């Protein structure tokens, strides 16, 4: 970025980013494309300096393989070799390797700070044109501390997590509260897109042992590590923690084969029919499509699977997050895929329910002060509700 004037105008594709490498100020000479407001990319989206490509995370490999998203230069971080001389993709084994075949320049940066993670696929340095050393410490993401509302949402979600369940849980206050509430469970498994420090105590205590999995039995599976040095050290050389590519972690056939798979995600807002908005508030990006719908549909296809959206009933400013209509009109998960919605006020089970039944269930988990207004709005704006 510092040399952008010497390089000349160029484009950058960003997935998730938690560093200050690409900032709004850099877009004076660089055009940024990406998937939305993940981590520090939120600043780019807030400044309207990111060209968002709406797609599911599971679609990225095909988009890169086909050249629909064109990449000329690939820069990938890899770990130092392990005792067998094998490198790994470190903290994130996502999708960038799918750009290698069409790229004209392939660069591998060996970072001594990157954990030597286990995976069914590892980088081959002969695939790269240039190999450089990188001594930059990894960005650390300390776990966010849940408040009473987050814990209440998590307690309602936890009712659906039985012994032996296989979880997909992300990072954030509600996921952290949920994982902290599962200490009395047994034989849990995990197959997720991203994990944070909160998984470590569950694995160390034996709660999360992956013993019920038919695939990757005994092994935790994720696409990326997003935590502190504690998580990196835990993953380094750990054969029971797989950091796998997105075409495996988000593959629908893989997810559908996970018996008892429970997908837990968050949202910006949910409407009275079960439509979920997880990307935009008003006209500002706060999130991304990412792998949310991949996991939702994978869970719904799995035997005994459930899909759960957990969110506080109101924003920190007191605005209802249960709404009659998605304000931005950007729907991340359609109502046809709705299953369980959880707030601190309870649970709305929507699968198999009519529009009228859904509206009543959703209003029952909204903040009590919002319920009358939501019913009035439903009568005006929701098709299928008697006026």
196: left (phi over 0), alpha (psi -120 to 50) or beta: beta
For range 356-367, the mean pLDDT = 97
- Alpha-carbon distance of 383 to 214, in angstroms, equals 43
> Exposed/middle/buried for 58, CB within 10 Å: 0-12, 13-18, 19+?
buried
* Model pLDDT, residue 384: 78
Beta bridge partners of 196: none
- State the DSSP string of 117-164: -B-S----GGG-SEEEEE-PPPP--PPPPP-HHHHHHHHHHHTT--TT
For 313-356, what is each residue's pLDDT tens digit? 999 999 999 999 998 899 999 999 999 999 999 999 999 999 99
For range 252-267, the mean pLDDT = 96
- Alpha-carbon distance of 305 to 262, in angstroms, equals 5
* Model pLDDT, residue 344: 98
Report whether 88 contacts 244 (CB < 8 A): no
For 79-137, what is each residue's pLDDT tens digit? 999 999 999 999 998 898 999 999 999 999 999 999 999 999 999 999 999 999 999 99
* Model pLDDT, residue 383: 86
* Model pLDDT, residue 19: 87
Question: pLDDT-derived band of residue 215, with 50, 70 and 90 as boundaries?
Answer: very high
* Model pLDDT, residue 6: 96
Question: pLDDT-derived band of residue 17, with 50, 70 and 90 as boundaries?
Answer: confident
- 12-21: Cβ within 8 A, 24+ apart: 13/69, 13/71, 14/41, 14/44, 14/50, 15/60, 15/94, 15/95, 15/96, 16/41, 16/194, 16/224, 16/226, 16/288, 16/290, 17/41, 18/139, 18/141, 18/226, 19/139
* Model pLDDT, residue 18: 87
Q: Which run of H or of E encompasses 220? A: strand 220-222
pLDDT at 385 over 90: no
For range 70-82, the mean pLDDT = 95
* Model pLDDT, residue 16: 83
Helix (H/G/I), strand (E/B), else coil: 338: coil
Question: pLDDT-derived band of residue 54, with 50, 70 and 90 as boundaries?
Answer: very high
Length of the chain: 387
pLDDT at 386 over 80: no
* Model pLDDT, residue 359: 97
* Model pLDDT, residue 55: 94
- Alpha-carbon distance of 375 to 360, in angstroms, equals 8
- Alpha-carbon distance of 75 to 134, in angstroms, equals 12
Question: pLDDT-derived band of residue 39, with 50, 70 and 90 as boundaries?
Answer: confident
Non-local (6+) Cβ contacts of 40 within 8 A are 17, 18, 19, 20
- Alpha-carbon distance of 221 to 58, in angstroms, equals 16
Question: pLDDT-derived band of residue 253, with 50, 70 and 90 as boundaries?
Answer: very high
Phi and psi at residue 195, to the nearest 5°: -130, 155
63: left (phi over 0), alpha (psi -120 to 50) or beta: alpha
Write out the two tokens for 225.
Answer: 């590590």
């Amino acid at each position: 970025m510092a040399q952008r004037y010497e390089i000349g105008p160029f484009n950058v594709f960003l997935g998730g980013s938690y560093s200050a490498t690409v900032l709004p100020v850099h877009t004076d000479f660089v055009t940024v494309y990406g998937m939305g407001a993940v981590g520090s990319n939120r600043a780019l989206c807030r400044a309207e300096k990111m060209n968002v490509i709406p797609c599911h995370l599971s679609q990225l490999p095909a988009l890169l393989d086909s050249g629909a998203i064109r990449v000329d230069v690939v820069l990938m971080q890899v770990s130092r070799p392990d005792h067998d001389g094998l490198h790994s993709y470190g903290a994130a084994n996502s999708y960038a390797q799918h750009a290698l075949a069409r790229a004209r320049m392939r660069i591998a940066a060996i970072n001594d700070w990157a954990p030597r993670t286990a995976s069914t696929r590892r980088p081959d340095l002969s695939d790269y044109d240039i190999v450089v050393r990188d001594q930059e410490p990894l960005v650390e993401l300390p776990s966010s501390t849940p408040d009473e509302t987050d814990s209440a949402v998590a307690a309602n979600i936890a009712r659906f997590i039985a012994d032996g369940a296989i979880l997909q849980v992300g990072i954030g206050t509600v996921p952290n509260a949920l994982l902290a509430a599962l200490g009395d469970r047994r034989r849990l498994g995990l197959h997720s897109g991203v994990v944070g420090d909160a998984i470590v105590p569950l694995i160390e205590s034996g709660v999360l042992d992956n013993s019920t999995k038919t695939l990757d039995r005994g092994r935790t599976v994720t696409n990326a590590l997003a935590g502190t040095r504690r998580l990196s050290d835990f993953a380094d050389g750990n054969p029971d923690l797989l950091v796998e590519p997105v075409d495996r972690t988000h593959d629908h056939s893989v997810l559908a084969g996970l018996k008892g798979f429970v997908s837990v995600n968050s949202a910006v807002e949910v409407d009275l029919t079960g439509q979920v908005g997880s990307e935009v508030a008003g006209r500002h990006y706060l999130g991304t499509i990412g792998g949310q719908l991949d996991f939702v549909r994978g869970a719904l296809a799995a035997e005994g699977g459930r899909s759960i959206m957990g969110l506080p009933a109101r924003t920190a400013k007191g605005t209802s997050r249960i709404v009659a209509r998605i304000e931005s009109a950007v729907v991340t998960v359609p109502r046809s895929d709705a299953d369980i919605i959880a707030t601190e006020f309870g649970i709305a089970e929507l699968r198999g329910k009519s529009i009228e039944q859904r509206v009543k269930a959703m209003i029952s988990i909204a903040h009590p002060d919002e319920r009358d207004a939501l019913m009035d709005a439903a009568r005006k704006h929701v098709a299928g509700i008697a006026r």
